Amino acid sequence: MTRRHLRSRVLWLTGAFTLALFAMAFGLSWRAQRAQARWTRLLSVETKAVAALEELIRAQNAFHARFTAGLEPASRYGLVVQLLNDESLATFDLNALRGRVKAYRMLIHEPSPRAVDLDTTSRAIVNEALQLAAARKETIARQLPELENETRWMMSSGLAVAWIVAMLSFAAVQTTLRKVVKPIEELSAAADRIAAGDLTARAPVAGDREIATLGVAFNHMADELKARARTDELTALPNFRAFRERIDAELERADRYPETFGILVLDLDRFKNYNDTYGHLAGNEALRRVAQTIRETVRAVDFPARYGGEEFAVVVPQVDAASLVTIAERIRTNIAALPAPPDGAIVTVSIGAALYPIDGLNREALFQTADARLYEAKEAGRNRVVGPGGAWKVAGSPAR
């Protein structure tokens, strides 16, 4: 009787313990899945929406500054308008913002718009976008404490399970801490870094399956945000932001080593006429062909990028003036030699080149010099290179 009673108690306690562990594991799994879904929404919807609005603000300010300075045609404003169609903004009420953008677009197409009207309307667009972004950031800020509490709850539950298992085996405690608690702590730390704007943060992809899945989703979203912020979608080249970062890196390198580097600014000749004649789909294909040609022509150490519309740029490390112009001329020649598509459309480019340090000691000065030389090439007949020191590399045939 005593054995049967003891056996029953052992079986009952074992069953209860197993059931309790199962219930805890099920609860943790459910809460992890719930937290994963909320984090995924926070990263894939809310954060992308804020990034899209901030990109719109940067584009509006950049266009307005260049337009009012006479450096940007009104037709280029379409690139800013396109940013309103970003899928991440689908949940926003953009009627007011679209109305202000429309008003600004009408102003810039007037023969002689007043500067005060342009400034007022542009500020209204930026303020409206800032308000929308602030509202979405407030939404994110409200969600973060809840998600952090959720993470803390999961961590506390994991510690409770670890404590129970520790009564049976110290090794089991170590396993639980390693596979449950540590990944949750690292996930919480990575979440805090992402919330602070550090897109290099990475979550662990170890431990329990749900936690690992959440970590994979977390890292995928962070990588997507980082790549999207630095890559041009049409050509797959780095964008102007990445181009600026690379110039800054070269400037830092130049401070440490006695080396020169150059930048090239390229613009497709009469590309508006190209689009009007062959259509925007053909224009997009031409941009992709040009981007591929630039990528295949430059050296492995060079850094090609697209910084907007039909404009490209290249950072060219460790060159002198002659080598810089030679590389630019090679790019121009290869683009001009591209096989004509069935519609017969031929593409040419004009290129301006600037060399550090003779043409400028900072990013703005170098880019301004290269841009000015690009316009010299345009004025001189297009399909040519204007390099440092007024040296010219002239095309063998006129631009088409």
pTM over 0.75: no
Q: Is the separation of the CB atoms in 231 and 237 below 8 Å? A: yes
Q: What is the pLDDT of residues 284-305, one digit of tens each?
A: 999 999 999 999 999 999 999 9
| Rounded CA separation 99/85 (Å) | 14
All domains of the chain in start order, with CATH:
2-229 (no CATH), 240-393 (3.30.70.270)
Q: Is the separation of the CB atoms in 308 and 79 below 8 Å? A: yes
pLDDT computed for residue 371 by the predictor: 94
Listed as ranges, residues in the chain with pLDDT below 70 are: 1-13, 17, 24-45, 144, 146-148, 150-163, 165-188, 190-191, 194-229, 342-344, 389-400
The encoded tokens of residue 304 equal 């090609």
Cα four-point dihedral sign 65, 71, 77, 83: negative
Output DSSP code: residue 75: G
Q: Is the separation of the CB atoms in 354 and 366 below 8 Å? A: yes
3-state secondary structure of 315: strand
pLDDT computed for residue 238 by the predictor: 93
Residue 91 class from Cβ within 10 Å (0-12 exposed, 13-18 middle, 19+ buried)? Answer: exposed
Longest Cα separation, the chain: 109
3-state secondary structure of 314: strand
pLDDT computed for residue 290 by the predictor: 94
pLDDT computed for residue 334 by the predictor: 96
State the helix-helix crossing angle for 2-41 and 115-166, rounded to 10 degrees. Answer: 170
Could you report how far apart the first and last alpha carbons of the chain are, in Å? 104
pLDDT computed for residue 3 by the predictor: 39
Residue 263 class from Cβ within 10 Å (0-12 exposed, 13-18 middle, 19+ buried)? Answer: buried
Q: Tell me which amino acid residue 190 is.
A: A
